[in-house]
């Protein structure tokens, strides 16, 4: 079985670091992830709940804020609870973040000291060149 989630989105609020009764750092936040859509359609976003623990939680709360673009690798987890208002059983779906990454360059309000985040720039035009003979193939 396989449970792997990879998401890129923007934080919807500043993450806040909390601690469990055993003094383990944790943060919960949500990110807005754009859906793919066809030309002419209005874009839509899904709001995904994320939970990060320990060093990952500390990293997120230190370097990310509302509106920051973040890359997350993790797993979907469900948890059951009783709604305090209605007394009904509910199920929450969350992504437990195992890895987080910067997705865009860091912005400094003063405009100085910008650091580029690791990125992949594809400068290819998107067109493929035809290979005339099989002899030119590298395999």
Two structure tokens written together for 112 = 């100085």
The domain spans of the chain are 5-109
Instruction: Choose among 122, 95, 114: nearest CA to 7.
Output: 95
pLDDT tens digits, 30-77: 999 998 877 778 889 999 999 999 999 999 999 999 999 999 999 999
Q: How far apart are CA 76 and CA 49, in angstroms?
A: 10
Two structure tokens written together for 56 = 């990952």
Whether the model clears a pTM of 0.75, i.e. scores above it, the answer is no
User: Looking at the DSSP assignment, which residues form a beta bridge with residue 92?
Assistant: 79
Is 124:78 a contact under the CB 8 Å cutoff?
no
User: Looking at the DSSP assignment, which residues form a beta bridge with residue 29?
Assistant: 50
pLDDT tens digits, 15-38: 999 999 999 999 999 999 998 877
- CA 44 from centre of chain: 16
Range list of H helices, 48-92: 54-63
CATH architecture assignment, domain 5-109? Beta Barrel (2.40)
């Amino acid at each position: 079985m396989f449970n792997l989630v990879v998401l890129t989105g923007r934080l919807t609020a500043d993450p806040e670091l909390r601690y469990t009764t055993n003094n383990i750092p944790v943060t919960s936040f949500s990110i807005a992830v754009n859906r793919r859509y066809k030309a002419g359609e209005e874009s839509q976003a899904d709001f995904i709940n994320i939970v990060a623990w320990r060093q990952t939680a500390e990293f997120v709360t230190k370097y990310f804020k509302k509106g920051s673009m973040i890359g997350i690798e993790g797993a979907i987890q469900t948890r059951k609870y009783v709604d305090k208002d209605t007394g009904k059983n509910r199920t929450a779906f969350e992504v437990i973040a195992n890895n987080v990454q910067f997705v865009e360059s860091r912005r400094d309000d003063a405009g100085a000291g910008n650091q580029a985040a690791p990125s992949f720039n594809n400068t290819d035009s998107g067109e493929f060149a035809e290979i005339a003979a099989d002899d030119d193939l590298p395999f």
